[in-house]
């Protein structure tokens, strides 16, 4: 199997069918054998049912995993990545903020051996931004990108650690996510830190991106929880001998 596409979802009944259809259409158009894995992280609406109602075509496998309660985005992505069987694995946020065709740039980096992890980035010169964040969210994003290397030790060369469009060698994804402990939004940082400490190379590629006004993250309100997650990640890495 060429590519596994993991889509974490929470109360996305109005979007998820389009996500699955677009992912399946991408796989078919590119001649890729693959699967779409939707992880419903405890939705209170009909997200899982809407996803299961999609018929992706005989050449694309669809799997819908439903958690009985909400654990967090990190937990949902980890569930999907551990189930992924593809030679390559992609996780993409629900809502089609990035066209699936943009994954070809990341796949090229992986196939050519330039890296083991390929991140989409909204902050590269070649990236194209459609609907932008509000001014408030843009300011918070700038502050976050400035502070994260100081707080977490991530490389400043990585311009967009939180972009919800990332590809991995399948074996690397299963290894990294299999070790992760963060269930919340800071899982992206944990995976980056684990990848670097394991000697894996991370490259970024430009994307076309549009802001989803239905984003659930409230940065300032969530700050104490995010900091607590980061402390837990750093502590876990230190205990494992990966400072």
pTM of the model: 0.92
Residue 22 has pLDDT above 70, yes or no: yes
3-239 belongs to CATH 3.90.550.10: yes
Going by C-alpha positions, the residue among 175, 178, 182 that lies closest to residue 198 is 175
Region 143-167 average pLDDT: 85
Residue 191 has pLDDT above 70, yes or no: yes
pLDDT, one tens digit per residue, over 73-119 is 999 999 999 999 999 999 999 999 999 999 999 999 999 999 999 99
Domains of the chain: which residue ranges?
3-239
Residue 40 neighbours by CB under 8 Å, 6+ apart:
9, 10, 47, 48, 51, 64, 65, 66, 67
pLDDT band at 193 (very low <50, low <70, confident <90, very high): very high
Give pLDDT, residue 243.
62
Going by C-alpha positions, the residue among 74, 73, 98 that lies closest to residue 19 is 98
């Amino acid at each position: 199997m060429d590519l596994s596409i993991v889509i974490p979802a929470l109360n996305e009944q109005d979007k998820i069918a389009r996500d699955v259809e677009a992912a399946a259409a991408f796989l078919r158009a590119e001649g890729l054998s693959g699967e779409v894995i939707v992880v419903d992280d405890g939705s209170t609406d009909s997200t899982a049912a809407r996803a299961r109602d999609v018929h992706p075509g005989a050449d694309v496998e669809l799997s819908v995993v439903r958690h009985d309660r909400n654990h967090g985005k990190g937990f949902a992505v980890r569930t999907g990545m551990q189930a992924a069987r593809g030679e390559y694995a992609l996780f993409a946020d629900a809502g089609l903020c990035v066209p699936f065709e943009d994954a070809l740039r990341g796949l090229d980096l992986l196939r050519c051996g330039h890296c083991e992890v390929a991140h989409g980035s909204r902050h590269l010169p070649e990236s194209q931004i459609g609907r932008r964040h509000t001014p408030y969210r843009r300011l918070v994003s700038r502050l976050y990108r400035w502070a994260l290397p100081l707080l977490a030790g991530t490389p400043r060369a990585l311009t967009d650690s939180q972009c919800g469009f990332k590809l991995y060698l399948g074996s690397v994804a299963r290894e990294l996510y299999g070790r992760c402990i963060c269930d919340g939004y800071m899982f992206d940082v944990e995976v980056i830190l684990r990848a670097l400490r394991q000697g894996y190379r991370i490259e970024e590629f430009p994307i076309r991106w549009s802001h989803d006004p239905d984003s659930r993250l409230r940065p300032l309100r969530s700050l104490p929880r995010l900091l607590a997650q980061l402390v837990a990640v750093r502590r876990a890495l230190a205990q494992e001998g990966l400072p």
